[in-house]
Amino acid sequence: MQTFGGHKTMQDKILIQKAITVLRENDIDGRSTKASPGLYPHQWLWDSCFIAIGYRYFDINRAMDEIRGLLEGQWTNGMIPHIKFNEKESGGHPREIWGTRKVPKCKDIETSGISQPPMIAIAVWEIYKKNKDKEFLEEVFPMIGKYHRYIKEFRGLDRSGLSCIIHPWESGLDNSPRWDNILDSIRLTDTPESKRADTAFIPIEQRPTDQQYNKYWYLVSLFVGSNYDITQIFKNDPFIVEAILFNSVWCEANRCLSKIAEEIGEENKIFEEWAEQTKNSINENLYDEKDGLYYDFDVKNGVLIKEQTSASFLPLFANVPNQEIAQKIVEQYIRNSEKYWLNYPLPTVSADSLKFNPKRYWRGPVWINMNWFVAKGLENYGFKSYADYIKEKTVELMNKSGFREYFNPYTGEGYGADNFSWSAALTLDIMCK
């Protein structure tokens, strides 16, 4: 078995160099990285956080600049958009649909109008553990703190500690089966003209459907029509979800921001309190005792969304469950060879689900960031051998199929974009830590 962080074989060294090359070649301007050539030519929020985590092993200054570049797109209300558009590229995701140029909260930099899982504090803390640069912490802390206050003030409802997402894209797992019922309830009177760019690069059977994309655009049109007023969005948007992945990341991000604040002599207790509130609320409101699993909550319909996906394992990453619950999740789900422990773990949807598709985006393939989250979660609870196995199989995927966007959990075949930045970056984190 591979010993991560220890002796490197020649094959290891070649793979590490290839990963570094992917990140270098996907550089946009020295302060941002495209998620991939062609399909994703812009800077995405959580992609850049994973990218910065990878950069810290071979160019710590560039890792810090990635965070700085991401923060350039922050709105005046604190929101950090999920896309900061690359001025050099006219292709990829259609920027004109967002209408953010007309929004006073948006700065002069062209961005989308929604956010993504708040990974920034986590990435900054990982960078700091490498270089101990307190000046960098002092520089970015006010902006990250403002972002966290935005989430707390504008995305929380009555349930203490939980935050809401307003679009499937904010979940990071765009076409997950978790969103099917909500999207199916949306009845479109007019079918919008297709704005898809993805199928020019990737076979449509590996991507969300046209119907799903039409619903995504419809939700964006609601935001534009409300001029991004969150009160109006909460009123009119059918997609208001307390997402288990988003809230698990939110919980851990507040812990990291608390550590950052403490390091530079700022008030930190509030962020630790927010983390504890979120942990308690996840256990109280998003855990299903019968299934022994965490789920998302559909706010508008008042129900847990009981779809078995790897997002349900994210509380392990944030140290949310007790040891007994964690043990149950590992034994009944993660290590179940009919569900997740396949040739190449972990599929994003349980393999025994009728909605499982090993080729289609977030409906079954292996994604490296999810493996990264779950491996860290397993380590938190003492399941180091299982975590190491996931890491070993992840590296095997990279050697077999290259730095693809996602992978078939049975064959290891790579799908989606090639030279995908976070696959390269997180491979570095797995192999070099």
- Say how far apart CA 115 and CA 306 lie, in whole Å: 24
Q: Which of 396, 398, 415 is nearest to 406 (CA)?
A: 415
The DSSP code sequence of 94-151 is: -GGGG-GGG-TTS-SS-B-S------HHHHHHHHHHHH--HHHHHHHHHHHHHHHHHH
Number of Cβ within 10 Å of residue 3's Cβ equals 10
Number of Cβ within 10 Å of residue 433's Cβ equals 11
Residue where the block lists tokens 């190449």: 344
Q: Which of 205, 217, 213, 215 is nearest to 416 (CA)?
A: 205
What would the two tokens of residue 291 be? 């299934």
Whether residue 55 contacts residue 66, with contact meaning beta carbons closer than 8 Å, is answered with: yes
What would the two tokens of residue 247 be? 């809230």
Residue 27 phi/psi, 5° resolution?
-60, 140
> Which residue out of 65, 126, 174, 237 is catalytically annotated?
174
Residue 202 phi/psi, 5° resolution?
-130, 140
b/e map of 389-426 (b: 16 or more CB within 10 Å)?
bbbebbbebbeebbbbbbbbbeebbbbbbbbbbbbbbb
Q: Is the dihedral of CA 30, 406, 429, 332 positive or negative?
A: positive
- 174 is known as an active-site residue: yes
- 108 is known as an active-site residue: no
> Which residue out of 66, 110, 388, 405 is catalytically annotated?
405
Q: Which of 357, 292, 295 is nearest to 328 (CA)?
A: 292
Q: Which residues are catalytic?
A: 174, 405
